[in-house]
Amino acid sequence: MKPKAADKLATGIIVFFALLIVAVLLGMLGFILFRGLSHISWDFLTSEPQTIREGGGIGPQLFNSLYLLILTMIITIPLGLGAGIYMAEYAKPNKLTDAIRLIVEVLSSFPSIVVGLFGLLVVVQQFDFGFSLFSGAIVLTIFNMPLMVRVTEQAFRSVPKEQKEAGLAMGLSKWKIITSILFPVALPIIVTGTILAAGRVFGEAAALLFTAGMTTPHINFSDWNPLHHNSPLNPFRPAETLAVHIWKVNSEGLAPDAAQIAAGASAVLVILVLIFNLLARWLGRALYRKFTSIK
């Protein structure tokens, strides 16, 4: 076969598979949104679910998902940034750092249900935190930590060495170089990775079945004291998230409109994940343009 013909054949195969992947993705999104958008309303987004009667909503589950996201990122971001900065700037290449990177890679490939079972045995039972938002946040931190560490390390390593050497030539300390020179340049990549990691929280269900729980007690939205049992801000109460609610309605739903509720909740979940991904791309590009224009 002639080189030009082989090149055209390879290009055609690559384009075909690329378009096939895009078509599958658009088909899935279109199917979910087509079935669910008609069921979304303000009452659906704010009202409580119904066990037997029809007309329930996803208000508590939607709030639980957003609150769990905040709790998870409060724990994940400092730990991920610290570990990534250490691996990029402080850790010397040796067997220990190679072992740490291997552990991070292995942890990132763990099935979420295995991480959930670990959380059930250790966080829920051994440390006696029970089925709660806090237990779910701890498990999701374990789930997202490899991504945050890798993103932070790669972001710092992508900074040109000349900028670091310029800081050393000026007599700046290592910490000053990290905070004043390296971190602002690496920030766009870190922010993008952080938002993508946050988006994974919405779609996680298997790990939360064993940690956050499958039920939500009555939440008193007029009481915002996190020390009260029925307060929405109490991190130690059971909390059924939106993804878990979808699974539960599809498998155990007794309401006459269970299929419609699951379809509407799925559409809301897909929209949230899409918003997070688009926000990550937009914010990453905006920060990149800002810092490159400053340089």
The predicted model gives 91-99 an average pLDDT of 82
pTM score, whole prediction:
0.86
More confident residue, 67 or 292: 67
Q: Are 206 and 291 in contact (CB under 8 A)?
A: no
pLDDT tens digits, 3-48 = 777 788 888 899 999 999 999 989 998 998 998 888 888 888 988 8
Q: Are 204 and 243 within 8 A, CB to CB?
A: yes
CA distance 274 to 36: 15
Kindly list the domain boundaries of the chain, sorted by start residue: 40-294
pLDDT at 214: 86
> How far is C-alpha 141 from the geometric centre of its chain's CA atoms?
9
pLDDT at res. 259? 85
DSSP 64-99: HHHHHHHHHHHHHHHHHHHHHHIIIII--SSHHHHH
CA distances (Å), origin 36, targets 14, 200, 240, 248, 254: 33, 21, 20, 17, 19
pLDDT at 124 over 80: yes
- Most confidently predicted of 5-19, 65-79, 104-118, 172-186: 65-79
pLDDT value at residue 272: 87
Instruction: Tell me what pLDDT residue 138 has.
Output: 93
Task: Supply the mean pLDDT for the chain.
Answer: 85
Helix 133-157 and helix 183-203, axial crossing angle in degrees, nearest 10? 150
The stretch 201-230 carries a mean pLDDT of 85
- Topology at the third CATH level for domain 40-294: MetI-like fold (1.10.3720)
Return the pLDDT at 294: 53
Distance between CA 287 and CA 79 in Å, rounded?
23
Give residue 168's pLDDT band: very low, low, confident or very high (50, 70, 90).
confident
Eight-state DSSP code of residue 122: I
pLDDT for the residue 122: 93
